[in-house]
Structure 1
Amino acid sequence: MTDTELFARLRQMWTDLDPMPDDLVDSILVALATEGLAVEYVMLTMLDTAPALAGVRGTSESQTFEFTDGTLRMLLRVNSMGDGERRVDGWLTPASAMTVRLTQAHDEVTASISPEGRFEFEHIPTGRTRLWLEVDAIGAGGASHGFTTAEFDL
């Protein structure tokens, strides 16, 4: 028996004993199509409130962003501090022992989330920004996974 005949018989044996599931191709296509769906969802739920809506008196250079992955929800309020710097105040629900990492082109700063879910960054330069949540510990009722926002402009 030649190698080609042997491989053909082995292929037929496995086809008979363990055939490919009928929905395998469709399942793979769905899995590939939903890859990165969480990032797309975050981008769709991102809110950018116009400065004119920030207050009744005076002008305000404030923006509000909301990011969620269905489990975690992050709300950011970004205020201008002048000279191209911003202050970022954030709230995370559900609150959990996490570290927030703010990254820009070549800079990175971190902050801890309080037990109430609050965090802040001061004197952040304007520019493309992304936040990363990193789990410090898994607490009762808290988040058990990290989270990354879409890139946004400060």
Structure 2
Amino acid sequence: MTTADPRFPRDDGALFARLRQMWIRRDPMPHDLVDSVLVALATEGLVEEYALLTMLETDRLAGVRGGADASGQTRVFEFADGSVTVMLRVSALSERRRRVDGWVAPARPLSVVLRHGHDEWLASVSAEGRFEFNDVPAGSVRLLLRPDADGRIDDTARQGFTTPQFDL
């Protein structure tokens, strides 16, 4: 009759406990792993939060020539994510219609999609970073910036940029 080797327990729980102790001795967990994981979890979604925090709305544009538009209402929004900044000037054409003038910095070849419910409007960013939507309905919208089909864009903007929902 052979006796079981005490170094190799037959019980799974005891075997796993020995394996755990072996790996703790041979390859211990880095001392800052827990803190690093907590920081990574806390900063997940930070780009979107920053875009919300940098959103700016005013009733007037300082230093702009000319009178107010037909309704007297002009609003400015600014969105940023660290690699791109989008500024929008929204003018009321009527109670239910808006004009949107936009600028992207730095200027790059992008397509801009304005989503209003299930409807979409498309514009291209000029070499100077400008785009516009002449006549869109008022309401809750989202702006999406996408690389142009030619693909001549740096990797930081390749995935595109989406603003949070905002009201025109």
1:115 to 127, 138, 158: 127
Structure 1 position 72, deviation (Å):
0.7
Give the TM-score, by structure 2 length.
0.80
Kindly tell me: are residues 14 and 111 of structure 1, through their superposed partners in 2, closer, same or farther at Cα, counting changes over 3 Å? Answer: same
The reply on whether 1:72 has 2:84 as its aligned counterpart is yes
1:124 to 130, 136, 140: 136
Unaligned runs of 5+ in 1: none
Counterpart in the other structure of 1:151: 165
Kindly tell me: are residues 108 and 140 of structure 1, through their superposed partners in 2, closer, same or farther at Cα, counting changes over 3 Å? Answer: closer
Counterpart in the other structure of 1:36: 45
Counterpart secondary structure, 2:90: strand
Aligned-residue CA RMSD (Å)? 2.3
Structure 1 position 104, deviation (Å):
2.0
Kindly tell me: are residues 22 and 42 of structure 1, through their superposed partners in 2, closer, same or farther at Cα, counting changes over 3 Å? Answer: same
Equivalent pairs counted in the alignment come to 154
Report the more deviating stretch, 118-127 or 102-111. 102-111
Q: Distance in 1 between matches of 2:161 and 2:61?
A: 30
Give the TM-score, by structure 1 length.
0.87
Unaligned runs of 5+ in 2: 1-9
Identity of paired residues, percent? 51
Counterpart secondary structure, 1:82: coil
Q: How does 1:51-66 map to 2 (within 5 A)?
A: 51=60, 57-58=67-68, 60-66=72-78
Kindly tell me: are residues 113 and 52 of structure 1, through their superposed partners in 2, closer, same or farther at Cα, counting changes over 3 Å? Answer: closer
Q: Report the AA paired with residue 11 of structure 1.
A: R
